[in-house]
Structure 1
Amino acid sequence: MKRMLTVIAVLFIGSNVHAQLVYVQGGLNLANITKTNDGHTEKNNILPTFNAGFMGRFGLSKTVDLESGVLLTGRGAKAESYFNGGNDYVKSKFNPLYVEVPLNLVILAPLDKQSGIFFNAGPYIAIGVGGKSKTDSKIGPVTSSSSSSIKFSNDDPFTSQQDDAAYDKLKRFDFGINLGGGFQFEHLLLKVNYGLGLAKINSTESNNTANDKNKYRTLSFSVGIPLGK
């Protein structure tokens, strides 16, 4: 964990050392996981979670820029099954946490001297750092609840084999594409973003192109507050 925190600090410093605009970001994630071959989230429920961190823009021009930073972001999904007329149930919540490093191309359309509309798109990489899985059930008069910490494999992302793989572990590394936009004001940014995961999250699965099952889908609504303004 100490080594991972050092890597995270280096990523943040390196991605923002020349930034012209640095802002703190926080907001709501609506997370889900694909269940079908064509990438739909059938029979999963959205899990509300969060995103928080720092982002920076490099000031390439007034209309085109690059943006990067470091975010702590929640992923996952909820699932609920009811039976016996709805009297009995099994409810599960799966909420892993990742440190994400995005790299976005930003297109800004000014509305006036201090505000504008922007659109962003680009890749991200993410490292799993924690999270919880919880299950609640009721069968007749018997209720039960259990929770466990999410485990990540120590896989080398630069090899094709899945090191330290197990059915109760996730891949530590995720990657995908961000698509979003929002409004930029002098002292505030309002952002919406859709994270399209491209990696299968279970550590035993290596072929990301076979189908689109078992990949993250995360819709985010965030507020950014520029620093030093």
Structure 2
Amino acid sequence: MNCKLAIVALLSFVGFTASAQDYPVTFGVKAGVNLINMAGDITDTDTKVALQGGVTFDYAFNPAFSLISGVELTTKGAKYHGTTFNDFFEDGYHDVFVNLNMMYLQVPVYAAYKMQVASDTKFVFQTGPYVAYGIGGKATIKDGVEKQQVNSFSTGVIKEFDFGFGVGAGVEFSHLVAKLGYEFGVINVVDSYVGRLQNRNAYLTLGYQF
């Protein structure tokens, strides 16, 4: 009986080892371009270009399904140009310009489906949540003739924590990875007296898996 148990245990270990070798954990690096904006109570914000980069983690459960995560340094925000009323000015109205950059450390947790289309080429489709925490960035505010630049999170108007969901698609060609995706925040990232604003981001990234 003990001999049979030992054989079963040995076979299980061999099977687990083979499985781990067939479906390894893969690490990589990536960099890309964001098209960022915000959605909510202020409806006339403008899209702007920003950058992102990070390290990736890909755990393959089998050839078709993976868990994709990592740590990203990504910038979000928006531009706004409008008018506001102030008795100080002759006609009562003056221009207001805001250029908001918020830099986050972000961790996505995406479920991915991979479709083999050639011996070394796969199409990748992914979706899942992300969490992010703001670590810096500059907000430029021009109100009439006054212009100031501050840390985006230092005034307390912008909240550090962000949470949302992402969808994406791409292609893996040998060690190279290219992806298009879209992220939409689901929580308000500004103080309630400002209103409600949520992050939006469309991105293109290029990466290399080791």
Distance in 1 (alpha carbons) for counterparts of 2:24 and 2:161 = 26
TM-score relative to the length of structure 2: 0.77
**Which of 107, 120, 128 is the matching residue for 2:134?**
128
**Which of 146, 149, 167 is the matching residue for 2:148?**
146
- Who is 1:161 aligned against? none
The answer on 1:178 being equivalent to 2:166 is: yes
What letter matches 2:101 in structure 1? N
TM-score relative to the length of structure 1: 0.71
The answer on 1:81 being equivalent to 2:87 is: no
The answer on 1:56 being equivalent to 2:57 is: yes
Deviation at 1:81, TM superposition (A): 3.0
Distance 1:219 1:204, change over 3 A: same
> Is the contact made by 1:72 and 1:98 (CA closer than 8 Å) also made in structure 2?
yes
The answer on 1:100 being equivalent to 2:112 is: no
- Who is 2:118 aligned against? 112
Distance in 1 (alpha carbons) for counterparts of 2:157 and 2:96 = 22
Segments of 5+ residues of structure 2 without an aligned counterpart are: 1-22, 85-93
Deviation at 1:104, TM superposition (A): 0.4
- Who is 2:89 aligned against? none
Runs in 1 of length 4+ with deviation above 6 angstroms? none
- Who is 2:182 aligned against? 194
Deviation at 1:91, TM superposition (A): 2.5
Cα shift readout 1:156-181 (whole Å, capped 9, x = no counterpart): xxxxxxxxxxx743222111111111
Distance in 2 (alpha carbons) for counterparts of 1:79 and 1:187 = 40
- Who is 2:18 aligned against? none
Cα shift readout 1:122-168 (whole Å, capped 9, x = no counterpart): 0111111111100246x6xxx5432111226xxxxxxxxxxxxxx74
What letter matches 1:148 in structure 2? V
**Which of 197, 214, 219 is the matching residue for 2:202?**
219
- Who is 2:97 aligned against? 91
Identity of paired residues, percent? 25
> Is the contact made by 1:19 and 1:56 (CA closer than 8 Å) also made in structure 2?
no
Q: How many residue pairs align between the two structures?
A: 178
Query: Any idea what SS the aligned residue of 2:197 has?
Result: coil
Query: Any idea what SS the aligned residue of 2:109 has?
Result: strand
Distance 1:80 1:203, change over 3 A: closer
Query: Any idea what SS the aligned residue of 1:217 has?
Result: strand
> Is the contact made by 1:176 and 1:195 (CA closer than 8 Å) also made in structure 2?
yes
Query: Any idea what SS the aligned residue of 1:151 has?
Result: coil
> Is the contact made by 1:50 and 1:73 (CA closer than 8 Å) also made in structure 2?
yes
Segments of 5+ residues of structure 1 without an aligned counterpart are: 1-17, 153-166, 206-210
Deviation at 1:107, TM superposition (A): 0.5
What letter matches 2:121 in structure 1? S
The answer on 1:34 being equivalent to 2:39 is: yes
> Is the contact made by 1:33 and 1:216 (CA closer than 8 Å) also made in structure 2?
yes
> Is the contact made by 1:47 and 1:93 (CA closer than 8 Å) also made in structure 2?
no
Distance in 2 (alpha carbons) for counterparts of 1:19 and 1:128 = 32
